[in-house]
Homo-oligomer: A and B are copies of this chain.
């Protein structure tokens, strides 16, 4: 039996607790022994109170402690752990494992996904990016990760940093482009729904083509007339800036990428 303890009560922590809880119930060899939260009530809808602690000194022994708190709090939380030489990992995409306290063996258990509070997630298809200081710990992390996901990757700190930047482009920035599409629709009394099949196909194309092969539109075909018409249409400075910056990038780099 591998005993897992989750430290934190935020979005990712709660999704992990739910997932490990159902693993424990299904008689898997992974057991969620406890969760820590500064405020027990914030987890009381997920676990019986006796399985929640708000005191680091009452943390039960476990094979793996997963710290899932905001980036800024990881170091302080790992400093506060009152034990030594156990396996302690964090779930952050942007932090190296070196921010964890040297008292314990370090690692990373980073689920590469965007989590929405209250929206159930299926961890099976969420990539888990693992890193550890030694091979034995990696094997344990891998066993735990494979119990909840089909997509488990060894990703070192440099790669994870790159991945986090890439994730900002394909998630945060893409979502902002969706926002602008939505805004343009609203201003012109067009239902945003009308754009969704296009957004889906933009993504589905990548099952058969690389994004560079899939690139279409006025920028890549250097259609200056359409570009000029679009730029004249856009009255908001931020939209125009984005249009120009992305058009230029597609034209200069689209084919070279």
A226 touches which one: B71, B153, B169, B183 (CB < 8 A)?
B71
Once the chains bind, are B170 and A177 in contact (CB under 8 Å)? yes
Chain A positions 158-186 with a Cβ under 8 Å from a chain B Cβ: 158-159, 161-185
Specify which of B176, B214, B217 is in contact with A168 (CB 8 Å cutoff). Answer: B217
- Please tell me if A81 contacts chain B, counting CB pairs below 8 Å: no
Task: Give the bracket for the number of chain A residues in contact with chain B.
Answer: 35 or more
Does A230 count as interface, using CB distance less than 8 angstroms?
Answer: yes
Q: Which of B166, B190, B238 makes the CB contact (< 8 A) with A155?
A: B190
Of B127, B158, B173, the residue contacting A177 (CB under 8 A) is B173
Closest to A149 in B: B197
Query: What are the residues of chain B within 8 A of A183 when measuring CB–CB?
Result: 257
Residue of B nearest to A185 (CB): B166
CA A138 – CA B63 in complex, angstroms?
A: 69
Interface 9-residue window, one of A21-29, A33-41, A53-61, A198-206: A198-206
For the complex of A and B, list the 10 residue pairs with the smallest distance between their C-beta atoms, beginning with the closest.
A172-B217, A162-B188, A179-B211, A178-B211, A238-B249, A170-B181, A166-B184, A166-B181, A245-B245, A173-B246
Can you add 6 more A-B contacts, CB < 8 Å, to A113-B198, A238-B253?
A: A112-B195, A162-B188, A172-B219, A174-B199, A179-B212, A180-B257
**24 A–B pairs (Cβ distance < 8 Å), ordered by A:** A71-B226, A114-B205, A162-B185, A163-B184, A163-B185, A165-B233, A165-B234, A168-B218, A168-B230, A169-B180, A169-B239, A169-B242, A170-B199, A171-B217, A172-B215, A172-B250, A173-B243, A175-B214, A175-B215, A176-B211, A182-B212, A196-B206, A238-B252, A238-B253
